[in-house]
Structure 1
């Protein structure tokens, strides 16, 4: 382990030590994590997610341990905080602009059941979308249900991306489309986020994306050809090869292949597709709708619209919820930081 990686691990060990230890799963994401790994920058916030089995109990312990992290909602008690977390927005409770161990932290709390639901069904496509991209696992889960849901979420992302992409595409296009699933439709991309946010995520982490998705892509050879999967494991050789000529991938875009991908989509996107298709007087069940969409030449646009609609609703509701959980002052400060970052 390099000295930078060791310093990074030590920092997060200290940060996690400042929170209740009743966590089922914990990961870090965002630009600060990447910058910390590469250039030790502390300019951006460190984004953490705590997955807990009992939200009410966790907030009770955390409010005793870290009362200053909470807005005025803390005066309503931990049970209120837990219900507010689980019944509104994307079912996450965020505390932001928290100074810890010399850095600024934003952390979210979600119950295990709600995380599993989003991963399996894409009810909000919020944390499910963040977990489409490489993250830093700080505390691996031993919960088999969460482990399975994490893998199925990656599979769903692959099927969705292939439905959106054309017959031929580059490996970069594939990972870009995967990453964009949770940003297409996010109202914050209109104003508040960098326009090249997805590109900034994918380009520096191509190899991390490759390692994350390679095991699953290897099982889909009947539907898509990824030449990169056949390249020698030597990372430097692989990167050098790709820098000289982009890897061109190809997929089967026949109606039968599309139908296979559509059938593998999570529950909420399938429901959204059915509602969109049945807007007229005709009413068809999900099976018939998916078959019809598979034969539609605009299949990719239809899928993208339905996914964008899910993201749009959850991004608005979670952002509105964030004003209450952060408090007015921190909300203004957080928004200002985002705008400054975007303008840069």
Structure 2
């Protein structure tokens, strides 16, 4: 791609090549008081380190209990990152486990933990289980309501290849969407760090497309947290999910600091400013933005088409492909509109020039195309519809698959527990 076409993306260089960061997501916000900031931050880091050690010591034995090969293991959900307005008995602790080979994982796990599988799964063996894991639903095999010491656990198994595709391309947004939110990383191979960073960069860009020029920090994190639920059928089915789930996630104790830590590598490259310093040079740290307050402060972003175009161009490949197919000027439209005809000619000319320069550039990589999309009224709703379309079918089929992988009895008990959570959420509305 030529430098001219890349020019609109220049402000986004930090997000497109941000530093790789890994480790445990902070579960408590750091001090934002400027004068004693360094001393306060050191004290809080020390306290946070102790808290992380405690949480790590609680959940790490689950990962160590597996003989099967593991590339990534994270604990997530309300059992790990506390939600606001959370009442009732302790929830299941949710885990996602990525393995280099689903077949090898099931083979080892059937020998070590046969009781985790329903009878039919033990009978069909690891080969068939591997096929069901990879090919059905969103590519996971879920085991629910099993005990590891004092913890009652639900864990999902998927191949590392499936995870990588979802993180980088948003193939289903099933696991990628869960990793938009704070999780506790218990094990991670270095090769997965870049795909994880790409996933959070894309989530931030999509959230900003859905926000006005001014918004609060809490509104930003609600948009990020809500991406994976936007097309999930369970959010509209009574008893499937708490209707206040997104709000409760963002307002949980310590979660504000967790979001800040997770997205710190990216916020400096997307034009974010505090509203009271928008006309000044940005107040930044080595992590991009100097966080302040408890989430109620107002942030601002550029209101230009160029900014929106750069956000669009930073979305994952599958989303851009679907958008390019939607906004591509058609022959029929060109016959009715001189503007569309001129756009088609210009696109052909740019492609010919790129071919002559031996550059490979599809329409979904064309910066000028994204500027034109960003100038169209209502383009954000088209983006959201495409994202919802990506999420909807895998979320539905994975939910059905989960009932099969858990077995009949556990499925009934788990569904009843979900229904009780939904009722509790409805009463609080």
On whether the aligned pair clears a TM of 0.5, the verdict is yes
* Correspondence 1:242 to 2:294: yes
Is 1:14–2:61 an aligned residue pair? yes
Q: State the match for 1:185 in structure 2.
A: 231
Query: Which has the higher relative contact order, 1 or 2, with Cα contacts under 8 A spaced 6 or more apart?
Result: 2
- Note closer, same or farther for the CA distance 1:75–1:21 as it changes in structure 2 (3 Å cut): closer
1:211/1:13 Cα in 2 relative to 1: closer, same or farther (>3 Å)? closer
Q: Contact 1:73 / 1:324 at 8 angstroms: preserved in 2?
A: no
Q: Do the aligned residues in 1 keep the contact of 2:310 with 2:370 (CA within 8 Å)?
A: no
SS at match of 1:98: strand
> For 2:302, which of 221, 235, 252 is the aligned residue?
252
| Aligned residue pair count | 332
Structure 1 residue 13: Cα displacement: 2.8
Greater alpha carbon shift after TM alignment, 95-104 vs 106-115: 95-104
Query: What corresponds to 1:268 in structure 2?
Result: 318
Secondary structure, aligned partner of 1:109: strand
Preserved contact between residue 93 and residue 109 of structure 1 (Cα < 8 Å): yes
Matched, 1:329 2:409: yes
How many angstroms apart in 1 are the aligned matches of 2:285 and 2:327? 45
Matched position secondary structure for 2:65: coil
Secondary structure of 1:201's match?
helix
Deviations 1:98-130 (A, max 9, x none): 122122111011111111100000000111111
Deviation at 1:202, TM superposition (A): 0.8
Tell me the distance in 2 between the aligned counterparts of 1:125 and 1:16.
Answer: 24
- Alignment counterpart, residue 116 of structure 1, candidates 145, 164, 180: 164
Aligned to 1:47: 94
* Alpha-carbon offset, residue 290 of structure 1: 3.7
Task: Give matches, 1:122-161, under 5 Å.
Answer: 122-143=170-191, 146-161=192-207
2-structure distance, mates of 1:126, 1:98:
22
Alignment-derived partner of residue 197 in structure 1? 245
Aligned: 1:315 with 2:361: no
- 2:268–2:284 CA contact under 8 A, matched in 1: no
Shift of 1:292: 3.6
Give the Å deviation of 1:7. 4.4
Alignment partners' CA distance in 2, 1:174 and 1:308: 19
For residues 167 and 307 of structure 1, the distance between their equivalents in structure 2, rounded to whole angstroms, comes to 22
Match of 1:99 in 2: 147
Instruction: Flag the 1:293–1:106 CA change in 2: closer, same or farther, 3 A.
Output: same
User: In 1, are the aligned partners of 2:81 and 2:183 still within 8 Å (CA)?
Assistant: no
Distance 1:268 1:61 in 2: 34
Deviation of 1:176 (Å): 0.6
CA drift of 1:315 comes to: 0.6
- Superposed displacement of residue 291, structure 1: 4.1
In the alignment, which of 200, 206, 219 is matched to residue 173 of structure 1?
219
TM-fit CA distance, 1:249: 1.1
Aligned equivalent of 2:135: 87
Structure 1 regions of 5+ residues with no counterpart?
Answer: none
